[in-house]
Structure 1
Amino acid sequence: MVIEPLEVELKLEIDPADAERLADAPALAGLAGERQELLSTYFDTPGEDLRRKGFGLRIRRKGKTRIQTVKAEGEAAAGLFVRPEWECEVKGDRPVLDASAGPLPELFAADVLETLAPLFETRVTRIVFEPEIEGSAIELALDIGEAIAGPRRAMLSEVELELKSGDPRALFDLARRLDEHVPLRLGVRSKSEAGYGLADDAKPRPLKAEPVVLDRDGDAREAFAAIAHNCIRQFRLNESGVMEKGGAGSVHQARVGLRRLRSAFSLFKPLLDGDDRADLLKLELKWLAAELGEVRNLDVLIPRMPDHAGDQLMTTRERVLEHVRVALASARTRLLMIDLAEWLAIGAWRVDPENPALAARPAPDFAADVLERHRRKLKKRGRHLATLDDEHRHGARIEGKKLRYAADFFDSLYTGRKARRRHKAFVSAIEDLQDALGELNDLVTGPQVLAALGIEETLPAPGKRKRREMLEGAEDALETLLDVKRFWRA
């Protein structure tokens, strides 16, 4: 049996301009940093077979020593990475594919492994400190360098905190202390991801939610952690786009990441009962989502307005976007992400749950209950949907969003052919419902946004007949959804 040693670390991003000041932080006072020059070459097949299976293979040169490392994705974590790792010293610059390479020789055919070739490399100057926080030993590595793939280059600038011994809370305490001295952001991309992006010549773009992969043998806690990390990653990957270009796509996807995370809190509420920090984190997420929501509302309105009014709204958008950027750059947002990472790793809900039996419940069973409960809620709130007032119809829309997110979150738990067919039909039906309710919601929120901005302009609105057709269409979409067989049932 192969023993899988686990590497636990907290990854943070730092502006290269702040890197030199990090050593002056009070938490590192009196510590001499050890300087290392690291050259790492990453290998994969022409079809990137290793990457598609969730593995990374590199050879790192440190002086005259060459260390081969194979890493496999463990829990899909944002900021807090926990991964099986196999390391061994090698003599040359070619991978050694024996037992020291972990499971690679067993998972991949020999002819596939023979095609492994250098794909990209990273050149990093690393400065290592070894602070002790309240009796806990930590290794801090400051990495500044670049990823290189042919003529393409990308800057690397990050801090990694690894617990050597003691209480994991020390990692997060140190992160917060360092952030008081220089701004630090929760990291969600590995060096290999940056390198693969270069090798693929990937262009910066808004990033939609990635599929959530849950372990069918895992419990409810593991499922919630994986889902929450996925949502945080979506937010963080799009946050940089908001800060840099501020395009509508990045704003929308960053907000969707937060909205998905808030829905996850709601879907898993029974699991989080008794954890006071859950409510505080939810309030902070609500604040941050509302900040982004102001820009998103304008992005929805602008294409629908006459040119003269659209120009006025674009000017307003620039002002509101700048306010959002200030919020994103604030210590409040940075610390929220670090607090979330800590809570997801060692919060009371996970290590000392109020209901241990519920926490340990198999993920598929917990998921089925969540899906069933929210389907019932949508059915109840959507009764006579066409005759509901705006407030109650909006309540049905929110419940529909939760059910849609739940279907996405738990998708990987239902793999049979019948379940896949039903899941596809279910998602298609709920998308139709959301589209119909979204159009109706825009008719209500548009005038409210204009009024709040003091803009005296009337939005084009459908006539009574068209509006009645829209309402009846939404009600028909709900009936179709409720008729679809539930994919979580055998």
Structure 2
Amino acid sequence: MLVAAALVQGTRRLEKSVGMVANGEDDAIHQVRVSCRRLRSDLKLFRRLLAGDWATELRSDLAALAQACGEARDLEVIAALVRESITSEDNEEHVDTILTALTAGLDRAAGRSADVVLGDATKDLIATLDAIAAAPDLKPKADKPCSEVLPQLLQSATEKFTQQADRLKPWSADDDWHEVRLLAKRVRYAADTSASVLGDEAKATAAHAATYQELLGQHQDHCAAADALTAMADDAAAQDDPELSFTLGRLTERHRAARKPLREQFLSLYHRP
């Protein structure tokens, strides 16, 4: 049964990532976040086959765990992007101040994330997932052949992505681009899950979605960096440090400018005949 198999695989992936956090491994917090997202995506993919409210509750718990890991991951990405964007024209002392603040924030956020990931609520969530995966409560339509049901489920995810992607313009708001990124990710995960049954067609869909997700992920990273630096610039101005605020403003503009080529690249690829 594909639903049960997907839940078992997702639960093992989450359990492994939690173990990575316990062992202090690199990228562990990010892997917990990815595991939560993949499980939530599978639950959404199969939602028409699931009976009762258990899937909604699980998706909510998984979302809360992913959110607890979000700040640390975002700060990790932002700090790396800021380091890449620094030039010899930037004030070295200001750069050190900015990176020190970001690193300190990252350390605090990582500690908070680890506390949640290794807490009792996460252990209970994994135990619940194990129990449900052993015998998920399904609707009668789940008895239909996977080859009949899966194309409809995957098509639904793909249509939602294309509806939103068709509306994107070079001047669309950052939030609109972010929404399309999330939908591309959902298509990718859905296609990955379906590939064992649908074969090459689903694999091709997953590959295309992964390309879109990568481009839009880079776009979102620059948006997040610009927002974080803007907040830091506001704080510097409030503390009557206009020179630091100026450096932060320069860095912010670089990340805002980085959005344009990524938007152009996505639209060119998406609308390619």
What is the TM-score of this pair, normalised by structure 2? 0.80
- Correspondence list, 1:126-205, <5 A: none
In structure 2, the residue matched to 1:283 is 60
* Cα shift readout 1:325-351 (whole Å, capped 9, x = no counterpart): 21122211111111121222234x23x
Aligned equivalents of 2:128, 2:29: Cα separation in 1: 23
Distance (Å, rounded) in 2 between the aligned partners of 1:410 and 1:393? 26
Other-structure match for 1:470: 262
Structure 1 position 333 matched with structure 2 position 116:
no
| Equivalent in 151, 164, 180 of residue 396 of structure 1 | 180
> Aligned match of 1:409 in 193, 216, 235?
193
Change (3 A) 1:447 1:408: same
Alignment partner, residue 205 of structure 2: 426
> In structure 1, how many angstroms separate the alpha carbons of the residues matched to 2:230 and 2:118?
29
Q: Which of the pair is proportionally richer in helix?
A: 2
Higher relative contact order (CA 8 A, sep 6+): 2
Picking from 249, 253, 256, the partner of 2:34 is 256
> Is the 1:303–1:310 Cα contact (8 Å) retained in structure 2?
no
Structure with more strand by fraction: 1
Match of 1:159 in 2: none
- Within 5 Å, give how 1:258-337 maps onto structure 2: 258-272=36-50, 274-306=51-83, 308=96, 309-337=98-126
Equivalent residue letter for 1:266:
K
User: How many Å separate the matches in 1 of 2:17 and 2:266?
Assistant: 31
3-state secondary structure, aligned to 1:410: helix
CA distance in 1: counterparts of 2:21 and 2:205, whole angstroms: 33
Matches of 1:441 and 1:448 in 2, distance apart? Answer: 10
Equivalent runs, 1:359-378 vs 2, <5 Å:
359-378=142-161
Q: What residue is the counterpart of 1:44 in the other structure?
A: none
Mapped to 1, the partners of 2:41 and 2:71 lie a distance apart of 19
| CA distance 1:301–1:414, change in 2 (3 Å) | same
Per the TM alignment, residue 443 of structure 1 is displaced from its structure 2 partner at its CA by 2.5
| 1:262 Cα deviation from its structure 2 partner | 0.8
Farther-moved stretch of structure 1 (311-320 vs 448-457):
448-457
- CA distance in 1 between counterparts of 2:256 and 2:61 reads 40
| 2:192–2:202 contact (8 Å) kept in structure 1 | no
Q: How many pairs align?
A: 247
Residue in 2 that maps onto 1:446 = 225
Flag the 1:412–1:368 CA change in 2: closer, same or farther, 3 A.
same
TM-score (norm 1): 0.47
Q: Does the CA-based 8 Å contact 2:21-2:114 persist in structure 1?
A: yes
Please name the residue that 2:164 is paired with: 381
Question: What is the DSSP-based 3-state SS (H/G/I as helix, E as strand, rest coil) of the residue aligned with 1:305?
Answer: helix
Q: Deviations over 1:406-433 (max 9, x none)?
A: 1111111134xxxx3x555434332221
Q: Secondary structure at the match of 1:406?
A: helix
CA distance in 2, matches of 1:264, 1:474: 26
Gaps of 5+ in 2: 84-94, 237-247
Q: 1:299 Cα deviation (Å)?
A: 1.3
CA distance in 2, matches of 1:455, 1:328: 31
- Contact residue 235 and residue 258 of structure 1 kept, 8 A: yes
Identity %: 25
Structure 1 range deviating more: 253-262 or 320-329: 320-329
